[in-house]
Every structure is written in structure tokens, then in C-alpha cells.
Chains A and B, each alone.
Chain A
Amino acid sequence: MSALPVRSRYVASFVTLRRSVTNNLVTGVAIVSTALVLVPLVAILGYLLYKGASSLNLAFFTHVPVPVGDPGGGMANAIVGSAAILGLASLLGIPLGIGAGVYLAEYARGTWMGAAVRFTADVLNGVPSIVMGLAAYSLIVAKQQHFSGLAGGVALAIMMVPTVARTTEEMLATVPNPIREAALGLGIPKWRTVLSVSLRTASPGIITGCMLAFARVAGETAPLLFTAFGNQFWSFDLNQPIAALPLQIYVYALSPYDEWHRLAWAGALVLIVMIMASVTLVRIFANRGALKGGH
């Protein structure tokens, strides 16, 4: 630097200054945006804790709801019911979604059929959740002549498919083609390459997509209103009406009773903690086998 003539030294320092200002500015904007995103999240969580935690006790997790006026009672059946419905929805929705995503990314690239499937998935993504409930109602409930957890699971599964399919497709598109070629070049059949190389390489992103889809449907009430319907008693039969946390919260929150309002807050807290816990568990589980220097 010191060897430079005065003029270019001035220019150089000006450029350096401008760069560092720009750099700090961009960093600052990033920090502020992060804070803006985190503030509502933390606020909601804090408010839920404040309103809900006081009503949480062991009974909440072990007892079923009791009639108005009776003390105690809990949402044990709704917690189990939600777990069952979400389990079923994931079991149906995730494989189907990943399958569709694989088809789009690895087999239907640039084809007419692929464009049609992609378009359908995007439209499906925008359909209001209550319409999904109606679809499951007419497909299953109306045929069977009764409400059921099964119908609720199917409604949520249909909602998961487009999200899972499109993230799977996008994540597979980020897998560099030379890696696929490496597998094909070893005489590994295409299906095996897709399963063990493409999907495996894209799996962190795909898991994130599945978790997003899961978290999104876990809080849905509308699709369950006339499918799973809700149940005040224990039920482990997916072929019968079954309780679910969002339904229970919905019913309690709309009621005129203070005790029920408190339980609704507690239920909302439990729901959000359950979602966070499952997402975290999946993350930990998925990272267990990670290698040094992989990604």
C-alpha cells in the first residue's frame, strides 16, 4: 500500500471504506431481518407459556375431558388421537410425496406429463384446507356413513403430498449430475442410483421439506372438522371418530367457560411443543450417521 502514489492510495482507501460500509450494512440488514422473524415466534411461544403452562398438570396428559363444571380433566385422548392421525398422514403422505418428487425430478424432466403433475401439485398446494376436509368427507366419510380418524389422516396426507413432492423435486435438482453419472458409470441400475445416490445426497433437504409439511398439517383444524370429528372419550380405533388437539382446542376456545379457555391455552402449548419436539427428534436422528466433511 505505502508504495502506491498518493492518488491511487486515496482511491484504494475509499474503495476499502466503501466495501467495509457495504459489508457492515448487509450484515446489519441480515441481523435485523433475523430478529424480525424471531420476535413474533418468541412472543407467541412466551405468550402460550404464560397462558398455558399454569393449566398444565399430570392430569392434562393422563385424563380425558370432563363435563363443564367438573374439576380437572385433560386432553390425553386428543394427544394420542393427534399422534395417530399425524402418524397415518405421514405414513401415507410422505412416501407418496417423495415418490411424486422423484418422478418429477428423475424421470419426467422436460416431459408433458411432468409439467402436468407439477402444475397439479402447485394448484393442490393452494387449495384451502377446508376443501381437503370436504374431499376426504365425500371420499370416505360419506361412503362409510361415519366419521373416522382414517378420513382425517387421509385429508392431512393429501395436504402433505404437494409440499413434499415439490421440495423433493427441488432438492433432487440440486444434486449435481456428475454424481448420478458416477453411479450409472459403475453399472448401477437407474432405480438404485435414484434411491441410494440421488435421494441420499438430497436427503437433508427432503427431510426438511417433510418436516415443514408435517408441521403445517399438525395444527390444521378445518380438515378434521368433518372427518376425524373429535371424541370426548378414549378411542384407539382409526375407523371411529377420534379426538385431536386442534379440534379440542377449537371447541374449548369457542366455549363460554373460563376453565375450558385455560385448557385450550394449555392444549395449544402442548401442540406446539409436540411439533417442535418431533421436528427436533427427526433432525437429531437424521444427523446421527453424518460423516466428517460431508454436508
Chain B
Amino acid sequence: MGVDIRVENLNAWYGPVHTLHDVNLHIPANHATALIGPSGCGKSTFVRCLNRMHETNPAARAEGKVLMGELDIYKDATPVEIRRRVGMVFQRPNPFPTMSIYDNVASGLKLNGFRKKRVLDEVVERSLRQAALWDEVKDDLKKKSGASISGGQQQRLCIARALAVDPEVLLMDEPASALDPVSTAKIEDLIFKLKSQYTIVIVTHNMQQAARVAENTGFFLMGKLVEFAATTKIFTNPSDKRTEDYITGRFG
């Protein structure tokens, strides 16, 4: 089951550069939430703060509160615990090149010490089916490297890999930016199906996509969350002038 996320006064830096300014927001459980905004406005930085990936960069720093349900992720848990519960699909596909397709999907379980073959087989098939990749790779599962398939297939592989560990929250940073329209539609279907069980946060440059999959949408601009509201409201009747300018294509 998904869990809600409450962000309070979140600030983030890369070295001296202040990238996120006082972000406050409530992401409801078992819904899809879209984040939009021009390039460089801090969307990736924001989602990376939600699973504590931001701090893997030695120069980076974050301050503020992120509550996952009751859990303060920066106080009450280790990064490793948080990342097991908050899965992530990155902006660019990053399969493990030395592992087979099967091992890529199973990696989250295997590398955490889980070894039961029968369960792994099941999880791999289920996750690949969820990511709409099963039919294309089922004959090469253990023969082909994760890096040997097409970019779009790689991205779906990365989604399957994230799903295999059964997270409660799924962060997707422009998951469809490298995909063709057919694969994109598959991913959107997937998000639609998944959001009854997971809390999904999806960063996207594609406003139609946000409108199609997400109940709520947040608009970021220069490191600030300008507006956060129901997706229909953001796209039809935004309260902030800057949001309106952005969605009508007047800048960004």
C-alpha cells in the first residue's frame, strides 16, 4: 500500500548554490502527483530529496522535514531503509550493463541477500509484465545484458527493477522522455494501474501526460514550488500568473 508524503520547509543546495527554497507540499497516498516546470527549476533535485539520493552527491545538502506517513525520513531512518520503501526511476535509463535482464530486475532483492529462486522467478515475471516489457524480452531473460536492449526497453526495464522490490512510493523522473509514443502510452497505462497501490510522483515536461495520469500537479519555478493543486485546476484555472504563463507556453 502507498503512503502519503508531507514535505515541510525543504531546502537543498549543491555546494553553495541554493537549489530548492522552502518547499512545502502534501503528496496524497495512492495517487499520482505530477511535477512540472522549466528545465533546471529543481524537479529532479526535489524528487531526489524524497528518497535521500540527493545526499549521495558529496557536495549536496538538504534541510527540512520529509514525513512518509509518520516517519521522518531524515531523522528516524537510514538512507538505505528509505530507498527500499521509495523506489526511483531516473531521468536517463541506467540498467546494470554487466547483468542479464533477469538479474537487473532481481537485483534489488538479490543484492539485499534474497535468494529463493522460485520467488525471484515470479517477481521478475510479474514486474516485467507490469512494466509492459515481458513479451519483448521473455526469451532472452538470462542471455541478454540489460544494456543490449533499446533505450525505451531499458527504461521499462528500470521501471520493472524498481517495482520488483515492492516499494510504497515510486518516484519517476521523466520516465517517458526517451520513449516512443507507444511505449509512452504503455508507461501511462502502467501508472494508471499502479496508482491504486503505490504513491506515485512523476516529473514530466509533457503537460498532456500530467493531465492524463495525475490527480494533482505541482509547478516549480527557479527552485520554488509556485503552485500545487488538482491537475484540472492547474491546467484550466491556475491561481498564479506564472503557472498560467508556463502552461500556456508563454515561457519555459
Known: A292-B144, A293-B145. A185 touches B165 (CB 8 A): no
Q: Is B95 an interface residue (CB 8 A)?
A: yes
Residue in contact with B56 in the complex, picked from A110, A176, A184, A203, CB distance below 8 Å:
A184
Interface size bucket, B side?
35 or more
Listed by A's residue number, 28 A-B pairs whose Cβ atoms lie within 8 Å are A110-B58, A178-B90, A179-B94, A181-B53, A181-B90, A182-B90, A182-B94, A182-B161, A183-B107, A184-B53, A184-B83, A185-B51, A185-B87, A186-B83, A187-B84, A187-B165, A196-B111, A197-B96, A201-B97, A291-B99, A291-B100, A291-B144, A291-B148, A293-B144, A293-B149, A294-B147, A295-B97, A295-B147
Known: A186-B161, A292-B143. A192 touches B111 (CB 8 A): yes
Kindly list chain A residues whose C-beta atoms are within 8 Å of the C-beta of B92: 178
Kindly list chain B residues whose C-beta atoms are within 8 Å of the C-beta of A192: 111-112
The complex places the Cα of A217 from the Cα of B162 at a distance, in Å, of 45
Known: A185-B53, A197-B96, A292-B145. 14 other contacts (CB 8 A): A176-B94, A178-B94, A181-B94, A182-B158, A185-B162, A186-B84, A186-B107, A188-B80, A196-B111, A200-B98, A201-B98, A291-B145, A291-B148, A294-B145
Residue in contact with A185 in the complex, picked from B81, B83, B147, CB distance below 8 Å:
B83
How many positions in chain A have a CB within 8 Å of any CB in the partner chain? 27
Residues of B within 8 A of A (CB): 51, 53, 56, 58, 79-85, 87-88, 90, 92, 94-100, 107-108, 111-112, 140, 143-145, 147-149, 158, 161-162, 165
Kindly list chain B residues whose C-beta atoms are within 8 Å of the C-beta of A292: 140, 143-145, 148
Kindly list chain A residues whose C-beta atoms are within 8 Å of the C-beta of B112: 187-188, 192
Residues of A within 8 A of B (CB): 109-110, 176, 178-189, 192-193, 196-197, 200-201, 203, 291-295
The complex places the Cα of A178 from the Cα of B80 at a distance, in Å, of 17
* In contact, A188 and B108 (Cβ under 8 angstroms): yes
Say how far A11's CB is from chain B's closest CB, in angstroms.
37
Residue in contact with A294 in the complex, picked from B80, B83, B97, CB distance below 8 Å:
B97
Total number of A-B contacts with CB less than 8 angstroms? 94
The complex places the Cα of A110 from the Cα of B60 at a distance, in Å, of 14
* In contact, A291 and B143 (Cβ under 8 angstroms): yes
Say how far B157's CB is from chain A's closest CB, in angstroms.
11
* In contact, A109 and B58 (Cβ under 8 angstroms): yes
The complex places the Cα of A180 from the Cα of B147 at a distance, in Å, of 15
The complex places the Cα of A96 from the Cα of B112 at a distance, in Å, of 25
Chain A residue with the shortest CB-CB distance to B95: A182
Kindly list chain B residues whose C-beta atoms are within 8 Å of the C-beta of A196: 111
Kindly list chain A residues whose C-beta atoms are within 8 Å of the C-beta of B94: 176, 178-179, 181-182
Kindly list chain A residues whose C-beta atoms are within 8 Å of the C-beta of B144: 291-293
Chain B residue with the shortest CB-CB distance to A204: B98
Kindly list chain B residues whose C-beta atoms are within 8 Å of the C-beta of A295: 97, 145, 147
Kindly list chain B residues whose C-beta atoms are within 8 Å of the C-beta of A182: 90, 94-96, 158, 161
Kindly list chain B residues whose C-beta atoms are within 8 Å of the C-beta of A293: 144-145, 147-149
Say how far B233's CB is from chain A's closest CB, in angstroms.
32
Known: A192-B111, A291-B144, A291-B148. A183 touches B96 (CB 8 A): yes
Known: A178-B94, A292-B143. A185 touches B88 (CB 8 A): yes
